[in-house]
Structures are given as structure tokens and as C-alpha cells.
Chains A and B, each alone.
Chain A
Amino acid sequence: MTEIFGVPTQALFGQLLIGLINGSFYAMLSLGLAVIFGLLNIINFTHGAQYMMGAFAAWFLLNKAGIGYWWSLLLVPIVVGATGMLIERTMLARLYKLDHLYGLLLTFGLALVIQGVFRNEYGSSGLPYQIPQELVGGFNLGFMFLPKYRAWVIVASLVVCLATWYVIERTKLGAYLRAATENPALVQSFGVNVPRMITLTYGFGVGLAALAGVMAAPIYQVNPLMGADLIIVVFAVVVIGGMGSIMGSIVTGFLLGIVEGLTKVFYPEASNTVIFVIMVIVLILRPAGLFGRER
């Protein structure tokens, strides 16, 4: 068996793949957080619960309505995003004039409520979700076996992330969004309906989390607490990347997924904490984050 640094290549590439998969989810979730933060100045603590809702919604559609994975990819983000917009209109909108910390507290409370309700219904054991027919099986790359579904997740999340980046950085709609991030009052005076834009942005960020949830459903089990610990790691990713740039959060997400995967190979005991350790080091060396700017 071939070895690199005394580690079998099979194990190394296997963990790298898992790292890339985790990184895909970190990237999609931290991207959603960054987009929401940019316009609303709120850290969306409910993000993990909304990711979980996405996975559950996909499970519901399959098991109660017979609607498969591909339609779920389209429908679930819309439905969960709509619940997000409802939350924004009825609750978050009342907090914009207050200290930003209240937004954090409100979304934390909502996360508790949502996770509690789902746990009441489904307990804390996971529900299985089948890999769609088209993506069963895998490719033998010679040095490792690559399951089709995992390859799909990495590619799809890259496409989603880059598309989001493109829309925000290169289109007119994105220009309005960036302008509203800098100075909402001015943009409003030009006739742009900023409150509606805020609602849609929040819905979009939430939809992104739900999309990640659908994609995660066949890999991890569908579990009421699947987002609870994940969101804390994603917070650390956001602190490391800094929320100044969209591309920054995408790159940081994938990068940290890979680093975490490699840690599992070389020093498994630290794999849970490595991202937090990196966060501490980054805070000491570059307090604004790798891609952030001091505000």
C-alpha cells in the first residue's frame, strides 16, 4: 500500500474528501450568514435550525408526498426561505434600531424553539434519507473510490457559492445590495425599496441554509440537532474569514473543511477543536480575519 507521510493514501484521500464535503457545507452556511450580516447587521443564530429544517423538509416531501430529491432542491429553499421572510417581517424588523445583540438573542431563542419542536416530534435519533437513484454508485479513480453523490455535493455547492458571488459582485441587483449595505438611507432615497430588499436577502440566506440541509440529508442523518453544533463551527469559520468579503467566506469554508479532514488523519484527537484553535491564532495575528477589514 502506498503511503504519504506514513499515512496510507486511501485514508488520506478519504479524509480529504470528507473534509471537502464538510467544507462545502461550511462555505454555504457561512456565505448565508455573511450575506445576512452584510445587510441586516444580525448574526443569524437560527441558521443551524434552518439548515435542519431544510433536511427535514426534504424528508417530508419524499416520505409524505412522494416528491424526490431533485424537486426538493428547488422547493425546499423556497418554502424554508419563505418562513425566514415571515420571521424577518414579524420579528427581526422590529429590532433594527436597537443594539445588534438583540438580533442575536432573538434568533438564538428561535433556534431553541424550532429545535425543541422537532425534537418533541422526532426524538434525537436520525431519520435516513436515500441517495437519489441517479447518484448511487461511484467512480474508481485508481487511488481512491469517489462516491457519485459526494462528488455532486462538492460540485453543486461550489456552483451555488460562485453563482452567489457573481450575483452580488457583478450584477446590478448585487450592486444595489452592496450599496444598501454601505448606506441604506441613501439607497432608499434613490427609490429602491430597502425594507423589501432586506426581507428578500434574509429569505435568500435562509434558503441557502435550507439548500445545504437538503444536500446534507443523504450524507448525515436527518436529525433535529444536526445544525446545533454545526452552527458554532460555522461561527468560528466566519470569525476566521472575516465577514467583509463574499469570496472570503467561500474560500475559508472550503479551506477549513480540508484542514479539519487532514487533522483527522494526522492527529484525530484534535479534529473537533482544530477550527477553534485556528480561530484563536487568526485573532492574535489578524484580528479582522483573513479576508476582513476593520470597521
Chain B
Amino acid sequence: MERTSSAPGSAPTVAAAPAAILSGTRGILLMAALFAIAPWVGLYPVFLMKVLCFALFACAFNLLIGFGGLLSFGHAMFLGTAGYVSAHAAKEWGLPPEFAILSGTAASAVLGAVTGLIAIRRQGIYFAMITLAMAQMIYFFCLQSPLTHGEDGIQAVPRGHLFGVFDLAQPLVMYYFVLAVFLAGFVVIYRAIHSPFGQVLKAIRENEPRAISLGYDADRYKLLAFVLSATLSGLAGATKAIVFQLASLTDVHWSMSGEVVLMVLLGGMGTIFGPVAGALVIITLENYLAPFGQWVTIITGLIFVICVLAFRRGIVGELAAWLERRRYR
């Protein structure tokens, strides 16, 4: 599994023995266990669910930037659209939560296919600007459409009974459901990264003309990665809407797109667990800074600046590099 060797300078996805915990199956099991016991050691389930939703969102985003080299600055559109669709499905159509979430996720997949087809026509900086502009278009649509209730958003979304059996109104039942959704999404991403598809994606990131000359249809791979990322972001957004019983404009705003970039940057682009760490840190930070108003924006901006200037490997990337150095001492 760890046979992939990355080129010098690329994100340290390779794990040598001591750092294996930072990328292997054992790491996933450890993470699952930690999250499973977390509500029993005094952590508030709603906080943990928020972390899990954003962690899934960040992992989906990381698939695109960390492994495809595509910086999308409009991922909020997938989170928000899925949130609106699933909230609408659960509240207005009365669908059970599993189908509400599925419909939201499907909506994001379709949106991802459409925007992906347009955005992959340009690369690099243009790609970022195009996704940002398209997300802004979706934002204005959500602002004006009667279905989304404008500034109010869709409120009091029923959580309902999962499969008609499990009562999601109980915090712990909801929590373990969210954990299951997160882990399922995480494993999908993990498998995608370690599949031949993931290898080709990395090849395109490193040298697109060369990958094309080797016979790979780069656009098709990029589109597939984009749709996969959009779909999983949608899954996160749909789940989040059910958890918080709310779908609002915050989730489609460009600042949300910036936030997910920050989580991945801080945690470590192109690492397996980086996005989870990044989401945990940022959500915790926001929780504590919430009473200080605009300071959240300022500190968020400062973290961006510091990460870009001095901390480009992110938390997990630095950790892996440190373990690596210690090994060869």
C-alpha cells in the first residue's frame, strides 16, 4: 500500500514506518476509535458533529487540491446546495433523513458535474476564479429563490427517524450516525487516493502534459475527481443540515469556501488526516472566538498568511516530516 513514492517537494503522502500511523489503515481505525469514545469523555456531541461534518467537507476538498492540484474557491456551493435540498426534502416533502441526505448529495453531484465541465476548461488561477464566480452565482440564486427563504434559511428541519427505527432527535444516536457517514466518506476518499485513479490524478497534478502524452485523458480524470469531491462535500452539507436542522446562506457564501481552504491548508494539503486535524482546530477556534465578533475573521486571515509563509506542509505534514527526521537521526 505504501509503495507510492512522491517526488521531492510534493506533499508528504508517503509514510515510512514511524509515520505510517499518519496515513495507514491503523490510523483510520485509531481515528474511528477516538471519535467513538469522544462523547464519553466530556466532549459535547453537537460540537463533535460539527467537526465531523466539516472534516468530511475538508477531506473532500483535499481530494481535489491535495491530489488533483485543483484549487476550487467555490466549494461552498456544494455544501450549501446539498444542505438546502436535503432540508427542503425533509421538511417540505417529509422524506426520512436517509433519503433527504441522499437527495441533497445527488443534487451536489449534478451541480458538480455541470460546474466541473465548465471550470476544468481553464487551469491554475483561472480555475480558482471560475469556481469562485460560479459559487457566487449559486449564492445569488439562493438569496433570491423563494424555496430557500432568503435570509431566514430553512429552519426547524425535522431530524426524523433513520430507516424508520433510530430516533435522530437523541443526540448520541445522531452522533453515531454522523460518525458513520463521515467514516464512509473518509474510506471512499482513502480508497480513491490509493486506487489507480488516484495515481493518475497525482500524475496529472505533477505534470499534466506528460500524463496526457502517456495516453491519459486528463480532463476526464479531473472531472471525475471534481464530481467525487462535490458529491462528498454535498454529503457533508446534507448531513450538516439535518444535524443543525437548518440550511442557511452562510453555507453558500464565499467565506465558507475560504474556510474549507483554510482547514485543508492548516491541516496539511495532500495528507490523509490533515483535513480532519484542520477542521478540528478551526471549529474549536471558532467556538472560543465566537463572542469576539470580527476577531474570527482577522485571526482566520492571519492563520492563512502564516500558513502560506511559514507552515506550508500543515500540521500533519510537519508532524510526518518531524517523525521522518527523527528516524534518520
Interface residues of A (CB under 8 A from B): 37, 43, 91, 94-95, 98, 100-102, 104-106, 108-117, 119-120, 229, 232-233, 235-236, 238-239, 269, 272-273, 276-277, 279-280, 283-284, 287
Instruction: Report yes or no: B294 in contact with A120, Cβ–Cβ below 8 A.
Output: yes
A142: min CB distance to chain B, Å: 36
Listed A/B pairs (24) with beta-carbon separation below 8 Å: A37-B125, A95-B309, A100-B124, A105-B307, A106-B304, A106-B308, A106-B309, A109-B301, A109-B308, A112-B258, A112-B301, A112-B304, A114-B301, A116-B296, A116-B297, A116-B300, A117-B294, A232-B133, A236-B129, A239-B126, A272-B140, A272-B143, A276-B140, A280-B134
A238 vs B133: C-alpha distance in the bound complex, in angstroms? 11
Total number of B residues with any Cβ neighbor in A under 8 Å: 40
Chain B residues positioned under 8 Å from A109 (CB to CB): 300-305, 307-308
A103: min CB distance to chain B, Å: 8
A273 vs B130: C-alpha distance in the bound complex, in angstroms? 13
* List of 10 A-B pairs having minimum Cβ-Cβ separation, nearest first: A109-B304, A112-B301, A113-B301, A116-B297, A116-B298, A276-B137, A236-B133, A272-B140, A235-B129, A287-B121
Instruction: Report yes or no: A276 in contact with B301, Cβ–Cβ below 8 A.
Output: no
Instruction: Report yes or no: A238 in contact with B308, Cβ–Cβ below 8 A.
Output: no
Given A94-B309, A101-B71, A269-B144, CB of A111 within 8 Å of CB of B301:
yes
Instruction: Report yes or no: B122 in contact with A115, Cβ–Cβ below 8 A.
Output: no
Instruction: Report yes or no: A284 in contact with B71, Cβ–Cβ below 8 A.
Output: no
A23 vs B55: C-alpha distance in the bound complex, in angstroms? 41
A117 vs B294: C-alpha distance in the bound complex, in angstroms? 8
A243 vs B275: C-alpha distance in the bound complex, in angstroms? 33
Per-residue contact bits, chain B 288-315, to A (CB 8 Å; 1 contact, 0 not): 0000011111101111110111001000
B118 in contact (CB, < 8 A): yes
Instruction: Report yes or no: A235 in contact with B294, Cβ–Cβ below 8 A.
Output: no
B71, B294, B308 — most chain A CB neighbours (10 Å):
B308
Instruction: Report yes or no: A91 in contact with B305, Cβ–Cβ below 8 A.
Output: yes
Instruction: Report yes or no: B295 in contact with A273, Cβ–Cβ below 8 A.
Output: no
Additional 10 contacts, C-beta under 8 A, given A109-B305, A238-B129: A43-B129, A91-B305, A95-B309, A102-B308, A108-B301, A116-B297, A232-B132, A236-B136, A272-B143, A279-B130
B151: min CB distance to chain A, Å: 15
Given A113-B301, A272-B140, CB of A239 within 8 Å of CB of B122:
yes
A67: min CB distance to chain B, Å: 28
B59 in contact (CB, < 8 A): no
B263 in contact (CB, < 8 A): no
Chain A residues positioned under 8 Å from B312 (CB to CB): 98, 102
Instruction: Report yes or no: B118 in contact with A283, Cβ–Cβ below 8 A.
Output: yes
Instruction: Report yes or no: B133 in contact with A108, Cβ–Cβ below 8 A.
Output: no
A238 vs B130: C-alpha distance in the bound complex, in angstroms? 10
B254 in contact (CB, < 8 A): yes
B161: min CB distance to chain A, Å: 39
Nearest residue, chain B, Cβ from A113: B301
A113 vs B304: C-alpha distance in the bound complex, in angstroms? 9
Nearest residue, chain A, Cβ from B133: A236
A113 vs B140: C-alpha distance in the bound complex, in angstroms? 25
Instruction: Report yes or no: A117 in contact with B136, Cβ–Cβ below 8 A.
Output: no
When the two chains form the complex, which single residue of B125, B130, B295 contacts A120, counting CB atoms closer than 8 Å?
B295
Instruction: Report yes or no: B298 in contact with A120, Cβ–Cβ below 8 A.
Output: yes
B224 in contact (CB, < 8 A): no
A229 vs B140: C-alpha distance in the bound complex, in angstroms? 11
B6: min CB distance to chain A, Å: 15
B162 in contact (CB, < 8 A): no
B139-156 with Cβ < 8 A to chain A = 140-141, 143-144
Chain B residues positioned under 8 Å from A102 (CB to CB): 308, 312
B128 in contact (CB, < 8 A): yes
Chain B residues positioned under 8 Å from A284 (CB to CB): 118, 121
Instruction: Report yes or no: A239 in contact with B129, Cβ–Cβ below 8 A.
Output: yes
